[in-house]
Structure 1
């Protein structure tokens, strides 16, 4: 229960539903335990009418309502009394069923509300975590936590709580009635229950341990499936279907073995419960039978005890089920707690309301950064000043640290040392929403959502743009004509991750998504790698017109001579090795000049 203490806040939030549900549980069981007493009274009356039968006195130990009922019916004829008692038992059963229905409508519905809140809480926490978290955690595991783990905790909040309150109230009421009738017989027939408690305690320890293992393996299985679905084209192109199936089968077999082992352990509960309840019934009949032979007036009490024991069959059997649900929920909540207690390393300052448009010089002052998950030193003592309105080209080989510059500017990560300022303000002092909303970032790794082309382009806007605005952005990204050529045009669904489009089309839609925001700062991170030379020149020409006085950073491994860049930066091993204008770098006759000559000779050959 230590792990499950984290969900107690939901009991308080939905306290009215929770308390109402408990009241209805108690009421349904109250009407249930009245029936055995009326049955016992009828049996005694039947015994009186048998040959040689003697009157049986009414015990004061009967429930107050039953005593009132007996006082009302005992003056009736025998046939009428039996009929009225039978109808009363039927009415009590109907009342119990009604309250059980309302009970489920309160407690189970409450658990669904909590499930909704928990999933929103988990998803919101996912959104707050920084990029570093997602590099070290698998998608399948995160999906499993928000789906399977939350579902198991809901089972504790709804069915387990309902069953627990039901069994406690019913067992309590039955035991009160039984002890009030015959203390000695009650102690004898309930003697197997301590054995039951000990069994539950030891089996629960095993179930909890195995539940954690099963949930972990389920996360592995989900991750395996998710990666296979996402990479199906790679799998098919390399003819690895058999190998991937074998890998999935191995993971699935591990999950199956552990799940079956858990099911076998849980299966101990039910026969144990049935055995112990059956033993109580046998003790009741055996010992009660001997008591009835000695004192026939006890026949009614023996009948009551048999009914009580049978009534206790389900609650006692449910102890195992409830314990299993709680153990599974505890294992799942432990995984959720570990995740929810993970704090983002990138903290966003509070919004003050004084924020205006982000403008001014961008300054990287002696910035160093190492990726913690790989240990790769991406930038080392990196210093760069980009004046407001300047167009800067950042060049470098793969792994030189180019993309890291963009990711640090957007605060996906914070530098280990040094500062990054915009307009003299440290970006760590700027609210993340304000910072990122004023920068258009077109990443190297294009991601399109399973939605229409139009909504993918408008993704970064708070307010819904007009179709003309969307079309203009698409034209500037040189993708408008191709979108118009799709079957449903801008309303066409692009499929998961844009699977229905080519690499170049996805890149240009991503560029349109960046352009439609129309901010003061734009960052393009190698976003033209899948575009042909003609289209590339068209986009660059459009950018030349669009950028105007905006600050633009173009990160690439190619040289674009169409744009007149104010600065060209060449990065190698996380440091600036060349810096200047196009003409200045050609005069240096270094890496830039070599790359320019190679690129020019290739274009001439083509």
Structure 2
């Protein structure tokens, strides 16, 4: 239960929903208990008046007795109806306060979790899978909502109703009350046991359903690969096996539930039999009336539902505590990257790396080792190296997706950790190596980085990214909807839309992380020529594999195994006869072989 203490702040926030909710619970239950007493009086009235009516058999007054008897029954019937209407009205008010409060808490929790997810650093997302993040924000929050709403409502309702009924029963006849309540402890134990079984089996079903959903999602995403390798029958068999496991768990749950309700009815029936038997003896002794037996039978039936709910509420609380524990695990995490307070205003674009080293904590791989270099404002700098040399890590450090383990990165002379992240990133255009487009139209994907943007600006960015003509070939042009992760477009088109998204910001620093690999040489040259015009006087960093892409760079930095081995212009690096020249010669040979 300690994990559920986190919810106290929400209970305090919505205290003026809880207080009237509890009041409505009390009133509704009082309105539910009084009819049993009215029914008891009505039953006594019937038995007594029938005897009186028979005594006046053959007399004129018999009709008067009959009229009085009919009027009394109508009065008691109307009173019971009014009381149940009042109960129904206050039950409505109870749900409108407590259940609506739970929905407000659910809304607040989801917003808090999502906002916290947004604050956490990139490393957090490397360590956790998307499905788990989504489950904590949806399924776990829903379980907590069931605790703050239905569980609390039924717990209060059960407690109030139990106290009212038991006190009423003992006020009439303690002995009969004791015998009536004898089966209830057995019922509570059975309910708790069965609900635990139901909960465990429900958990197994939920886990199996998650596996089934993950399997289907992954196979649909990789449908091209499945069809290419003709593995439809193979995946169908796996799906059938997973579905069979799900069916087996579901059938097991149904069997437990099928035994539960007959057992409850049996115990309620036993309680009713005890009430009639012991109550009958009490009537013969003159301790109670026949109406009291009817009253007790109503009480027993009224207690059945709350006692059944007791086991269900216990299960809800257990599940909510487990879910809240999972939610708290992430909410208690602090972001690795915290924004500084220095606002630089408009960036000049000077970047300095001074003996920077970085190791990925989750893998232990040392990606960069003692890196030092300077990039002047307005320079076009290229970074090249073999796969795994640390190029993308360097780009992520400039964007401050991670913090360096050692050394210092400075922007315009200020240490990067001290700079306000929002003001800095708003002036940086970043095109990642793994292009991600949203399931939205092309227009909104290009304009994603800005709040307000004109159609002319979107078209200009598309032209500069050499994707405008491709977009105009589509029937809906810029309103063309993209599939999941931009699947509607080809690899080169996705890269160019991503470049347009960065260019429309008119950034002071532009970083390309090997984002031209999927375009042909002609398109690449067009993009670079456009960038030359767009980025005049602004800092550009281009990470690439093809040397043809970076030959005109003001400075080329060569990375090898996380270290800078060479740096300079294209001509200067060729004269060094080192790694750069070797890569250059290898790429020339590849191009010659392709042309043959």
In the superposition, the TM-score normalised over structure 2's length comes to 0.91
The residue number in structure 2 matching 1:172 is 163
Q: Secondary structure at the match of 1:523?
A: strand
Match for residue 379 of structure 2 among 373, 390, 394: 390
Aligned length: 583
Question: Take 2:347 and 2:100, find their aligned partners in 1: how far apart are those partners?
Answer: 47
Secondary structure of the equivalent of 2:571?
Answer: helix
Give runs of aligned pairs for residues 340-489 of structure 1, distance below 5 A: 340-349=331-340, 351=341, 354-461=343-450, 463-489=451-477
Give the 3-state SS of the residue equivalent to 2:373 in structure 1: strand
Q: Residue 140 of structure 1 contacts residue 222 of structure 1 at CA under 8 Å; is this kept in 2?
A: no
Q: What is the Cα deviation at residue 177 of structure 1?
A: 0.9
Relative to structure 2, which stretch is displaced further, 186-195 or 252-261? 252-261
Which aligned pairs between 1:268-283 and structure 2 lie closer than 5 A?
270-283=261-274
- Give 1:289 deviation, angstroms: 1.1
- SS of the equivalent of 1:77 reads helix
Which string of whole-angstrom CA distances, capped at 9 and with x for unpartnered residues, describes residues 135-173 of structure 1? 222222222222222222222222222222222211111
Secondary structure of the residue aligned to 1:405 is helix
- Residue in structure 1 matched with residue 546 of structure 2 by the alignment: 558
Match of 2:103 in 1: 112
Q: Deviations over 1:408-458 (max 9, x none)?
A: 111211222222111222211123222221211001100110111111001
Q: For structure 2, which runs of at least 5 residues remain unmatched after alignment?
A: 55-64
In structure 2, the CA distance between the partners of 1:522 and 1:107, relative to structure 1 (3 Å rule), is same
The 2-side partners of 1:429 and 1:262 are apart by 57
The reply to whether residue 546 of structure 1 matches residue 534 of structure 2 is: yes
Contact residue 440 and residue 522 of structure 1 kept, 8 A: yes
Distance 1:372 1:244, change over 3 A: farther
- Over 3 Å counting, the alpha-carbon distance change for 1:10 and 1:216 in structure 2 is farther
Query: 1-side partners of 2:323 and 2:204: how far apart?
Result: 10
Question: Does the C-alpha gap of structure 1 residues 176 and 339 become closer, same or farther in structure 2, counting only changes over 3 Å?
Answer: same
1:36 aligns to 2:51 (yes or no): no
Partner deviation per Cα, 1:120-149 (whole Å, 9 max, x = no partner): 222222212222222222222222222222
Indicate conservation of the 8 Å contact 1:150/1:332, yes or no: yes
The CA deviation at 1:259 is: 5.7
What is the CA distance between 1:216 and its match in structure 2?
4.9
Tell me if the contact between 1:368 and 1:418 (Cα under 8 Å) persists in the aligned partners: yes
Which residue number corresponds to residue 301 of structure 2? 310
Which range moves more in the overlay, 514-523 or 207-216? 207-216
**Secondary structure at 1:440's aligned position in 2?**
strand
Structure 1: runs of 5+ lacking an equivalent: 55-73
The Cα offsets for residues 323-377 of structure 1, whole Å up to 9 and x where unpaired, read as 232233233222222232233222223x56x441233521111112222222222
Q: Aligned pair in 2 of structure 1 residues 220, 421: CA closer, same or farther (>3 Å)?
A: farther
* Contact 1:208–1:327 (CA under 8 A) maintained in structure 2: no
> Aligned pair in 2 of structure 1 residues 262, 376: CA closer, same or farther (>3 Å)?
farther
Distance 1:497 1:202, change over 3 A: same
Whole-Å Cα distance in 1 between the matches of residues 274 and 99 of structure 2?
Answer: 37
Match of 1:91 among 76, 82, 96: 82
Shift of 1:274: 3.6
Distance 1:260 1:408 in 2: 53
Q: State the TM-score, normalized to the length of structure 1.
A: 0.89
Query: 1:89, 1:176 → 2: CA distance?
Result: 20
Offset, 1:260: 5.6
For 1:501, the equivalent position in structure 2 comes to: 489
**Shift, 1:261, TM fit:** 5.4
CA-atom RMSD in angstroms:
2.6
Give the aligned partner of residue 57 of structure 2. Answer: none
Q: What secondary structure is seen at the aligned counterpart in 1 of 2:138? A: helix
Is the partner of 1:279 in helix, strand or coil?
helix
**Change beyond 3 A, Cα 1:473–1:115:** same
- Please name the residue that 1:125 is paired with: 116
Q: 1:312 to 1:224 in 2, by over 3 A?
A: same
* Separation of aligned partners in 2, 1:264 and 1:421: 66
- Offset, 1:385: 1.4
Would the aligned equivalents of 1:192 and 1:276 in 2 still touch at CA under 8 Å?
yes
Find the residue that maps to 2:72 and give its secondary structure.
Answer: helix
